[in-house]
Amino acid sequence: MRRLGAPGRTATVLLAASIGVLATGTAQAQTGGTGSDGYWAVPPPFVASYLPGDNGGHNSFDYQQKNACVTRDLGQKEVVLREKPWGQQYLQIEEAQQLARAKTGSAGGGIRVAVIDTGVTRHPYLPRLEGGGDYVSAGDNGLNDCDGHGTEVAGIIAAQTPQDQIGFTGVAPDSTIVSIRQSSQNYSKPDSAGGTSGQQTGGRQQNDANGAGTTLSLAQAIVRAVNLNVDVINMSVDNCRPADGSITDGERAIQAAVRYAVDRNVVVVAAAGNTSETCPQNDQADPNKPRSIVTPPWFSDDVLSVAAIDETGGVAPFSVHGPWVSVAAPGTNIISLDPSKGSSQLANQTIENDKATPIQGTSFAAPYVAGVAALVAAQYPNLNARQIMNRIRVTAQHPGAQGGRDNFTGFGVVNPVAALTAIVPAEEGLAAQSGRQLPSGLPDASPKNWTPMIVALAGTGGGLVVLLVVMFVMRTIRRTR
pLDDT tens per residue across span 368-380:
999 999 999 999 9
Of 13, 28, 177, 142, residue with least CA distance to 79: 13
| C-alpha to C-alpha distance for 464 and 355, rounded to whole angstroms | 96
Directed axis angle between helix 249-263 and helix 385-394, to 10°?
A: 100
**Predicted pLDDT of residue 396:** 96
With a pLDDT cut of 70, the percent of the chain lying above it is: 80
Taking 3-state DSSP, the helix, strand and coil percentages for the chain, each rounded to the nearest 5, stand at: 30, 20, 50
Catalytic: 363?
yes
pLDDT at residue 433, rounded to an integer? 66
Element of type H or E holding 134:
strand 129-134
Please give the Cα distance from 210 to 34 (Å, whole number). 35
Sign of CA dihedral 57, 340, 337, 348: negative
pLDDT at 209: 61
CA 253 to chain centre: 21
For the chain, the residue count is: 481
Q: What's the pLDDT at 340?
A: 87
As a whole number, the mean pLDDT across the chain is: 84
Q: Reply yes or no on whether 301 is catalytic.
A: no
Q: Residue 461 and residue 467: Cα distance in Å, rounded?
A: 10
- What is the reported pLDDT for 321? 96
- Res. 279 pLDDT band, cuts 50 70 90: very high
Taking only the tens place, the pLDDT of each residue in 46-95 is 999 999 999 999 988 888 898 888 876 544 455 567 778 999 999 999 99
**Annotated catalytic residue within 123, 140, 147, 149:** 149
Among residues 18, 106, 117, 326, the one annotated as catalytic is 117
Checking if the pLDDT of 346 tops 50, the result is: yes
pTM metric for this prediction: 0.82
What is the CATH code for 2-428?
3.40.50.200
The whole-number pLDDT of residue 1 equals 45
Q: What is the pLDDT of residues 148-195, one digit of tens each?
A: 999 999 999 999 998 766 789 999 999 999 999 999 988 887 663 333
> 12 pLDDT exceeds 60?
no
Residues 6+ apart with CB under 8 A from 282: 290, 291, 292, 320, 321, 322, 407
Around Cβ 35, how many Cβ atoms within 10 Å?
6
Q: How many CB atoms lie within 10 A of CB 371?
A: 34
Q: What per-residue confidence (pLDDT) applies to 320?
A: 96
Which among 175, 300, 340, 363 is annotated as catalytic?
363
- Residue 69 or residue 266, greater confidence: 266
3-state SS assignment for residue 234: strand
The dihedral through the CA atoms of 390, 392, 398, 401 has a sign that is: negative
Q: Which helix (H) or strand (E) holds 357?
A: strand 355-358
CA distance 144 to 127: 16
Burial class (CB in 10 A: 0-12, 13-18, 19+), 353: exposed
Confidence (pLDDT) at 79: 58
Most confident region among 32-36, 237-241, 282-286, 415-419 by mean pLDDT: 415-419
149 labelled catalytic: yes
What whole-number distance in Å separates Cα of residue 45 and Cα of residue 299? Answer: 10
Distance CA 391, CA 306 (A): 15
Name the pLDDT band for 429 (thresholds 50, 70, 90): confident
Give the C-alpha separation, 64 to 68, whole Å: 12
Query: From CA 17, how far away is CA 255, in angstroms rounded?
Result: 29
